[in-house]
Chain A
Amino acid sequence: MGRYVIRRLLQMIPVFIGSTFLIFVMVYALGDPVAALFGDRAPDPATAARIRAELYLDQPLWKQYLHYMGQIFRGDFGTAFNGQPVLELMSTAFPVTLRLTLVAVVIEVIIGIVLGVVSGLRRGRSVDTGLLFLTLIVISVPTFVTGYLLQFLFGVKWGLVRPSVSTDATFEELLLPGVVLALVSLAYVTRLTRTSIAENVRGDYVRTAIAKGLPRRRVIVRHLLRNSLIPVVTFIGTDIGALMGGAIVTERIFNIHGVGFQLYQGILRNNSPTVVGFVTILVIVFLLANLIVDLLYAVLDPRIRYA
């Protein structure tokens, strides 16, 4: 197990370098950001040259990349154009988005799995058909539609919650955005769980467990669910990374100053330190989430062992 983890961690290094390089090239390809700093006015060349030199933008791409990676390994993620260190931006943005993701994942796991189990155990009956239909609707409606709709209904019309999230972004405030963010994934979790349960409920080990006279609850939770969760866990694992990055839409709607907001600003302003820095962290989160998923397999199914 330990060796497996170390091997996986080592494998992350080339993935990390490759992906940061790709992002760097892509942001670089967007073009020179300095011109836009001057608004509708053409930059005065002397000032623009100074700013380029300060931001290391007057060097060829490979030098910029090496310089950037050198900085990162020293724990410095560079400076955004408004003079704020990217590390400072991250320290305010990531906790917020992490909280939002956590809310979304909790909602998605609890509600999604419960609905999936209910639906899977009653396959073909009206509950199952109803849930399938509902999830289909949720999957097909874009996030910004549900976002604006729920925001208007809960925030403006009924006044139950604040339509926008304050800078503190407490769990309480993130509840509604969390639901919006979780909805689509929740539908997938429900469907995955349902299919998996419906398949395994006819498995030999379930029949054995029932024959042994175990209580129904124990059969479902310990035997049936545990085995059925492998595809669901895979999905949720990759979904954490996707949720963090994909929060752009939700964060804009609910005025959440998280990763999505910073990334959006960074891209609009061609601000490579911000974009590359944030995406780098997202890459790491993604890699770690995948590792945890792989390790969870062994926990869920004792037949899977890592040397």
Chain B
Amino acid sequence: MRRSLHARWAACAIAVALAATACGGDDDGGGSGGGDGNGVLSSSWGDPQNPLEPANTNEVQGGKVLDMIFRGLKRYDPETGEAKDMLAESITTDDSQNFTVKIKDGWTFSNGEKVTAKSFVDAWNYGADVRNAQKNAYFFEYIEGYDAVHPEEGDPTAETLSGLKVEDDRTFTVELSQKFSTWPDTLGYNAFAPLPRAFFEDHDAWVRKPVGNGPYQVESYTKGSAMKLRKWEDYPGPDEAQNGGVDLKVYTDNNAAYTDLLAGNLDLADDIPAAQLKNVENDLGDRYINQPAGIIQTLAFPFYEEAWGEGKEQLRKGISRAINREQITEQIFSNTRTPASDWTSPVLGEEGGYEKGLCGQACEYDPDEAKKMIEDAGGLPGGKITLTSNVDTGSHREWLDAVCNSINNALGRDSACTVNPVGTFADYRNQIGDQRMTGPFRAGWQMDYPLIQNFLQPLYYTNASSNDGKWSNEKFDSLIDEANAESDTQKAIETFQDAERVLVEEMPAIPLWYQNGSAGYSDRLSDVKLNPFSVPVYDQITVA
């Protein structure tokens, strides 16, 4: 709760000695109103990396805002992750390739403009057009005509996607370039949000103060420091905000946010610093949330390096068995990670394709067996192994050292495994892009949408966008194609899992652990939840 006024005045009295300053009250961090759904909460935020455009936002901080001010055709259920219709009245197809989308009536943007089929088609065309350099352009790559508006080189030969056609105010059709039965389920991602005319007419003004069709609207936005979002009273959707608004405050460091939470100046911190994990249950009790998110960490191998490439399955599996996942997740991450036993995430649920233990023995810790397997495979290439990762965030340095220790212990040699720390994420991504990895390297994956397809295809399909190790396997590829073409969802998921079993045989990347989302909140709040993307479900939070 708020500190007493005495303290503030005491601080002022000291300050007066230095310089005369205004010592009025202020309302930062606290909030006004009572428990009648009008209370405003404050929440920690990070400076978004990109301008806040739906097709240009690919990280959590910007995504957080888009999720509050936009609603798309679908929305992922905050609890189950299931894609449910939001603006979509129906999305129908006969052949898994041509879709007809019908939009519900009565939706508007917060500036009063009606949400029509054109709002979607224009927004998607904008996102796909290479001239707009949108970082999420690849989301539209399955739509027919993508190559023309987004050629690999040179200028586009078309301005719009030929696969998108507006039929009437509330209907449009989509033609995909390949069969993709679960495509409608991808439409909950922010990149597919509709955009009002104001976005195209005065782009600069829109980016300074975005206008959307979600339960909140932006009241003020000071780049780099704060955004005030307020409940949109006339929101036509079924999930109106249960609080009066949210003040997002940019923190330089998650430690500072946590300290503010403890001191009562902040209501919600959605990233508990690693150093505080040991104290957090004492500090917050049941106001601490620690639940699985759609994030998995793996160790990928460079298949362009002969030493690690083809025919080295036994070696790769041996290394996997040398890693004591249980111990590392417990000691370094205080159980905010769960040892992985497949290549997806528990947030998918068993119906969505997550299968505990799918990896089998290959992901179980057994130092003796690991040593035997590695030796049978001819030992480590050159007698040693180097793990590479950026170390600027995420306790990467700590767990890399622990993994190395685990491998060294299994092999009974102190110098078998070393860590190659890379200073910044940017540098690390460059080295990966230039194929300069010489040994196993960290590959993290945060899902775009809660589908098993999203955990497999972008990462392991031949030449896929995040196949950093350049692994390639015909059987895997054909199973993925088959699964995408399958119109029965349950069968599709089973086929995806068959593809995943190829990964067990080949071990192109070692699953390490699933990552949890963590958050802590003040006693003013209740109904705080994290969705499968580990973002707080702001609209359901109630303020006392």
A joins B in a complex = yes
Q: A33-B426, A35-B426, A50-B130 are in contact. Are A163 and B265 (CB under 8 A)?
A: yes
Whole-angstrom distance between the alpha carbons of A84 and B225 in the complex?
Answer: 13
Interface string of B44-63 (1 = CB under 8 A from A): 00011111000000110000
Q: Contact between A38 and B58 (Cβ–Cβ < 8 Å)?
A: yes
Q: Contact between B426 and A269 (Cβ–Cβ < 8 Å)?
A: yes
| CB neighbours of B12 from chain A (8 A) | 172
Whole-angstrom distance between the alpha carbons of A267 and B18 in the complex?
Answer: 34
* Nearest B residue to A110, CB-CB: B18
| CB neighbours of B253 from chain A (8 A) | 252-253, 255
Q: Contact between A37 and B49 (Cβ–Cβ < 8 Å)?
A: yes
Report which of A30, A156, A255, A257 forms a contact with B224, defined as CB distance below 8 A. Answer: A257
Q: Contact between A51 and B18 (Cβ–Cβ < 8 Å)?
A: no
Most chain A CB within a 10 A radius of its CB, from B10, B21, B150, B426: B426
| CB neighbours of B263 from chain A (8 A) | 155-156, 159, 162-163
Q: Contact between B152 and A38 (Cβ–Cβ < 8 Å)?
A: no
A280 at the A/B interface (Cβ < 8 Å)? no
Residues facing A in B224-240 (CB within 8 A) are 224-226
* Nearest B residue to A89, CB-CB: B224
Q: Contact between B446 and A156 (Cβ–Cβ < 8 Å)?
A: no
Q: Contact between B425 and A36 (Cβ–Cβ < 8 Å)?
A: yes
B138 at the A/B interface (Cβ < 8 Å)? yes
B251 at the A/B interface (Cβ < 8 Å)? yes
Pick the interface stretch among A39-47, A116-124, A188-196.
A39-47
Q: Contact between B224 and A38 (Cβ–Cβ < 8 Å)?
A: no
Q: A172-B15, A172-B23 are in contact. Are A82 and B49 (CB under 8 A)?
A: yes
Q: Contact between A171 and B18 (Cβ–Cβ < 8 Å)?
A: yes
| CB neighbours of B152 from chain A (8 A) | 45-46
Interface string of A254-275 (1 = CB under 8 A from B): 1111000110110111100000
| CB neighbours of A253 from chain B (8 A) | 253, 255-256
Whole-angstrom distance between the alpha carbons of A54 and B130 in the complex?
Answer: 13
Q: Contact between B135 and A37 (Cβ–Cβ < 8 Å)?
A: yes
The A-B contact count (CB < 8 A) is: 182
Q: Contact between A270 and B426 (Cβ–Cβ < 8 Å)?
A: yes
| CB neighbours of B226 from chain A (8 A) | 167
Interface size class of B (residues with CB under 8 A): 35 or more
B430 at the A/B interface (Cβ < 8 Å)? yes
Q: Contact between B135 and A47 (Cβ–Cβ < 8 Å)?
A: yes
Q: Contact between A175 and B18 (Cβ–Cβ < 8 Å)?
A: yes
Interface string of A147-182 (1 = CB under 8 A from B): 010011001100111111011101110010000000
Q: Contact between A175 and B11 (Cβ–Cβ < 8 Å)?
A: yes
A83 at the A/B interface (Cβ < 8 Å)? yes
* Nearest B residue to A254, CB-CB: B256
| CB neighbours of B50 from chain A (8 A) | 37, 81-83
A92 at the A/B interface (Cβ < 8 Å)? yes
Q: Contact between B130 and A163 (Cβ–Cβ < 8 Å)?
A: no
Whole-angstrom distance between the alpha carbons of A89 and B28 in the complex?
Answer: 22
Q: Contact between B133 and A51 (Cβ–Cβ < 8 Å)?
A: yes
A31 at the A/B interface (Cβ < 8 Å)? yes
B40 at the A/B interface (Cβ < 8 Å)? no
| CB neighbours of B428 from chain A (8 A) | 36
| CB neighbours of B433 from chain A (8 A) | 35, 42-43
* Nearest A residue to B150, CB-CB: A46
Q: A84-B223, A171-B21 are in contact. Are A47 and B424 (CB under 8 A)?
A: no
Q: Contact between B259 and A50 (Cβ–Cβ < 8 Å)?
A: no
| CB neighbours of A166 from chain B (8 A) | 26, 28-29
A103 at the A/B interface (Cβ < 8 Å)? yes
Q: Contact between A255 and B252 (Cβ–Cβ < 8 Å)?
A: yes
Q: A172-B12, A252-B252, A257-B225 are in contact. Are A41 and B430 (CB under 8 A)?
A: no
Q: Contact between A84 and B224 (Cβ–Cβ < 8 Å)?
A: yes
Q: Contact between B465 and A42 (Cβ–Cβ < 8 Å)?
A: yes
Whole-angstrom distance between the alpha carbons of A43 and B58 in the complex?
Answer: 12
Q: Contact between B256 and A30 (Cβ–Cβ < 8 Å)?
A: no
B267 at the A/B interface (Cβ < 8 Å)? no
* Nearest B residue to A265, CB-CB: B47
| CB neighbours of B138 from chain A (8 A) | 41, 44
* Nearest B residue to A176, CB-CB: B11
Residues facing A in B7-51 (CB within 8 A) are 7, 10-12, 14-15, 18-19, 21-23, 26, 28-29, 47-51
B168 at the A/B interface (Cβ < 8 Å)? no
Q: Contact between A261 and B7 (Cβ–Cβ < 8 Å)?
A: no
Q: Contact between B21 and A172 (Cβ–Cβ < 8 Å)?
A: yes
| CB neighbours of B199 from chain A (8 A) | none
A32 at the A/B interface (Cβ < 8 Å)? yes
Q: Contact between A83 and B11 (Cβ–Cβ < 8 Å)?
A: no
B73 at the A/B interface (Cβ < 8 Å)? no
Measured CB to CB, the closest approach of chain A to B119, in angstroms, equals 23
Q: A159-B263, A256-B252 are in contact. Are A175 and B15 (CB under 8 A)?
A: yes
| CB neighbours of B29 from chain A (8 A) | 166
Report which of A31, A40, A47, A89 forms a contact with B427, defined as CB distance below 8 A. Answer: A31
* Nearest A residue to B433, CB-CB: A35
Q: Contact between A40 and B222 (Cβ–Cβ < 8 Å)?
A: no
A137 at the A/B interface (Cβ < 8 Å)? no
* Nearest A residue to B262, CB-CB: A156
Report which of A38, A47, A167 forms a contact with B222, defined as CB distance below 8 A. Answer: A167
B198 at the A/B interface (Cβ < 8 Å)? no
B304 at the A/B interface (Cβ < 8 Å)? no
Q: Contact between B3 and A159 (Cβ–Cβ < 8 Å)?
A: yes
* Nearest A residue to B295, CB-CB: A40
Interface string of A20-39 (1 = CB under 8 A from B): 00000000001111011111
Whole-angstrom distance between the alpha carbons of A28 and B84 in the complex?
Answer: 46
B444 at the A/B interface (Cβ < 8 Å)? yes
| CB neighbours of A30 from chain B (8 A) | 424, 426-427
Interface string of B400-412 (1 = CB under 8 A from A): 0000000000000
Q: Contact between B130 and A47 (Cβ–Cβ < 8 Å)?
A: yes
Measured CB to CB, the closest approach of chain B to A167, in angstroms, equals 4
* Nearest A residue to B467, CB-CB: A42
Report which of B265, B425, B467 forms a contact with A268, defined as CB distance below 8 A. Answer: B425
A251 at the A/B interface (Cβ < 8 Å)? yes
| CB neighbours of B259 from chain A (8 A) | 151-152, 155-156, 163-164
Measured CB to CB, the closest approach of chain A to B271, in angstroms, equals 14
Q: Contact between A36 and B26 (Cβ–Cβ < 8 Å)?
A: no
B413 at the A/B interface (Cβ < 8 Å)? no
| CB neighbours of A161 from chain B (8 A) | 7, 11
Closest 3 A/B residue pairs (Cβ): A36-B426, A255-B256, A35-B429
Can you list 11 contacts pairing A with B, beta carbon distance less than 8 Å? Answer: A36-B426, A36-B430, A42-B432, A42-B433, A81-B49, A82-B51, A82-B223, A163-B256, A163-B262, A268-B424, A270-B426
Chain A residues within 8 Å of B, Cβ to Cβ: 30-33, 35-47, 49-51, 54, 81-84, 88-89, 92, 103, 106-107, 148, 151-152, 155-156, 159-164, 166-168, 170-172, 175, 251-257, 261-262, 264-265, 267-270
Q: 7 other contacts beyond A49-B153, A255-B257, with CB at 8 A cut-off?
A: A41-B466, A42-B468, A43-B135, A155-B259, A166-B29, A268-B425, A269-B49
